[in-house]
């Protein structure tokens, strides 16, 4: 299975979601080999992974791959090679204002495309102007791709009812795109856990003596497991 976190604009939580999905309890119970793939030339995840290696953290079932090429044939072949050796591929796709080569590839190639998106008119406008036209083209060319594109509401207030978010997006999204019945809450832990290459689970060990921080991490881990379960339920 190949899952892509895709959004043409930056700052929507794609990298955070990709990392935490790859290292989640839920995915690691379901898949024996998981490839985390970054196609962003800036290498945010690459730097994070290098920090992990320097600290000697155990990657478990997860391997990391950074493909920075903008040549279509190069990153296509790279992904296909990685898929030969992994049960699950999770791709972090860069935000792209023009060209959108990586975005086009991900939308066409991935089994599921997850679109992190805020409940805002700015995000709606960016989606409709930049990403939706690509989705329309792909679904028109390959009708069975319909039902493979899902918005994930992000940076949602932790106390907000997830059904309210779903209802919001069901009102504004076109028929080719659905909304996952899950949300990515706004929690400070998502800004702090990954220093020095940490995962949420590893961060929980670091802050184990602080009950407040430990509770926050446990909530975040539960957030991610729910998102992962929801994604896989839609992939069946």
CA pair distance 30, 111, nearest whole angstrom: 16
Q: What percent of the chain has pLDDT over 90?
A: 83
Confidence (pTM): 0.95
Tell me the C-alpha distance between 39 and 107, whole Å: 14
Which parts of 73-130 are beta strand (E)? 88-92, 112-117
Nearest to 92 by CA among 6, 199, 183: 6
Contact 41, 68 (CB under 8 A): yes
Query: Residue 3: what pLDDT?
Result: 97
Tokens of 4: 């892509």
- The domain segmentation of the chain, as residue ranges, is 2-187+227-235
Predicted pLDDT of residue 72: 81
Query: Which tens digit of pLDDT belongs to each residue from 110-150?
Result: 999 999 999 999 899 989 999 999 999 999 999 999 999 99
Class at the top of the CATH hierarchy for domain 2-187+227-235: alpha beta
């Amino acid at each position: 299975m190949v899952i892509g976190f895709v959004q043409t604009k930056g700052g929507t939580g794609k990298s955070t979601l990709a990392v935490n999905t790859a290292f989640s309890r839920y995915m690691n119970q379901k898949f024996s080999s998981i490839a985390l793939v970054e196609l962003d030339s800036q290498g945010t995840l690459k730097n994070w992974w290098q920090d992990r290696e320097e600290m000697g953290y155990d990657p478990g079932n997860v391997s990391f791959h950074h493909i920075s090429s903008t040549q279509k044939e190069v990153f296509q072949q790279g992904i296909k090679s990685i898929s030969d050796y992994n049960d699950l591929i999770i791709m972090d796709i860069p935000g792209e204002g023009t060209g959108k080569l990586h975005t086009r590839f991900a939308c066409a190639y991935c089994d599921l495309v997850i679109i992190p998106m805020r409940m805002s008119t700015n995000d709606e406008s960016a989606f409709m102007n930049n990403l939706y036209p690509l989705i329309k083209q792909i679904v028109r060319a390959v009708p069975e791709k319909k039902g493979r594109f899902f918005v994930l509401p992000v940076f949602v207030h932790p106390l907000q009812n997830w059904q309210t978010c779903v209802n919001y997006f069901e009102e504004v999204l076109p028929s080719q795109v659905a909304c996952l019945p899950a949300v990515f809450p706004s929690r400070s832990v998502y800004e702090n856990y990954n220093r020095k290459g940490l995962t949420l689970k590893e961060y929980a060990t670091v802050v184990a003596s602080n009950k407040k921080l430990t509770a926050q991490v446990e909530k975040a881990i539960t957030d991610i497991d729910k998102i992962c379960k929801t994604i896989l339920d839609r992939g069946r």
